[in-house]
Structure 1
């Protein structure tokens, strides 16, 4: 690029950062950040999001959270994407309490969680057996017309039934059938299997 007189931009450096994180070449990450300064490319929220996402993919969510804290201390405001990456990372590492804290923090900052954020929480909460909290997030999501996929919803329904929340499970099935009539037969089968 240099020899052709093409000036690198934030996207160029973002690609380099993601690549070096993927290969766990942290020393090179530092070099890229220095190159950004040399070329007058500011480190903004999108650069932080690339770094946070990369660390979360490597199951280094605590380090990613430290980057969030660094952003805030520099006056760089995170966006919902920042939080989505962190919530996914902590869920994937089994730290659902931290994921829920981050969700609350995001909402308190006036940022709006997207469907992916809700689906991630519902899925991992079901995996951990916290069906009541999963139901709360699922209901919030469905109020926005976002419904988790069939297998996640099935896990939630069966999980609710397993903790004697059969009425809640049936109500959930009813709501899903209203939104997706094409899956009604599959839901009828699942409902038949629920304890009466």
Structure 2
């Protein structure tokens, strides 16, 4: 079981630091990744969490806009009841992880739809042990919108991998 996460406020737009680069968003080059929105991870925020309500609403807005802009949608989903060899050092930190009790499902409000791709997530990084890189390349997508919970771990390591992978180009064209 994950430790409970204390509630906190999301930063407002004026609290986000100014970017050092001028990157243009292009829907025809973009993909949306909804990361770690499985019930198991969301439960760590406690019942009736205002934060999770706000985060889910924001993600739902992105989720609804993506198909209208022809942006493919990807999800990460960690498998339940992993073999200790597959969990590796995660076992030492977090124990056996999620079980096959329904908590491994993406939360109902964001359930994957027909055409969405669900990546099996073995590590914090969505690129690790998956064909995510190849799927993005085959779709001609080199910009990635990353959203979800645990931004300080999974979203950050995925963003770092995307930044370091030569196939994703966040610069203006």
Say whether the fold is shared (TM-score over 0.5).
no
TM category, shorter: under 0.3
Task: Give the structure with higher Rg (CA).
Answer: 1
Higher helix proportion (structure 1 or 2): 1
TM-score normalized by the length of structure 2: 0.24
Task: Give the structure, 1 or 2, with the largest relative contact order (CA under 8 Å, sep 6 or more).
Answer: 2
TM-score normalized by the length of structure 1: 0.22
Higher strand proportion (structure 1 or 2): 2
